Chains A and B, each alone.
Chain A
Amino acid sequence: MERQLVFELPNDLRCIEETVDFVVSRCSTCEEVARKLRLNFRVSLVEALTNAMVYGNARDPSKRVRVEVFLQASSVTARITDEGAGFDPAGVPDPTMPTNLLEDRGRGLFLMRELMDEVRFNDCGNCVTLVLHLPPSDRVSGEASA
């Protein structure tokens, strides 16, 4: 099974909640919503969309964010692309270091890395790919359409 969702969002933070709810609902139409989808995937998708709108597109309402979600039996993959210049993810500090704990930077990326199995950026850093592997009991059983 492989299905794909693709859409473009306006650079509006108010779109995030509805978008993430929709994507997660397409991933989990089975009765038991797996915790991995509810927590790991949902949180990471919110953080990726927030980063794209706030930092990537610098809150510019004329810009857009492209969202591509690939649903497979064994994994869920989301690719988020903004229209910004990108950034160097290696330059983001570890927010869990004692010296950084009180700082307001890096937690979104940190959570993505902690909660997803793979987090990859393109060379310029304006596109992030999130991959979550699903164990058999959690596998996506819902239908999805673009």
Chain B
Amino acid sequence: MAFHLSREGEVTVVDVDGQLIVGNRQELKQKVLDELENGGRKFLVDFTETGYIDSSGLGVLVSLSKKIREVGGELRLSSLNEDLRTLFELTKLDTLFRIADSRGEGLSGF
């Protein structure tokens, strides 16, 4: 499992391969914070290749969103499968994030 960062114009796209869980959430957090430190303000986390997110993974997304908003940026999410979307809906985190059906939709209008 790994996190791949790439640039699409002004947007930093983070691909999550595998799982976002208690064991690797710090790695994601650090990578995004480093990018934020370097001036990045627009972030899209894409879950096309993600099988599972646990509550710690949800928590790190919340924490990152908060930090990014504090400096005037935005964190969007895209490509959640049915199970992942259910987790966001149950925890009401779907009200906190802009969640796009696809990567392209997430990037549009950013």
Which A residues form the contact surface with B (CB < 8 A)? 13-14, 16-17, 35, 38-39, 42-43, 46-47, 50, 54, 95-96, 101-102, 104, 107-108, 110-111, 114-115
Contacts and interface: CB of A to CB of B under 8 A. Distances in A.
A13 B57 CA distance: 14
A115 B54 CA distance: 13
Interface of B: 19, 21-23, 52, 54-56, 58-59, 62-63, 66, 83, 86-87, 90-93, 95-96
A92 to B, nearest CB: 12
A108 B54 contact: yes
A103 B90 CA distance: 16
Nearest to B53: A43
A63 B22 CA distance: 18
9 contacts: A38-B83, A39-B83, A47-B55, A50-B56, A101-B92, A101-B96, A107-B59, A108-B56, A111-B55
B91 A102 contact: no
Given A47-B54, A50-B56, A104 B19 contact: no
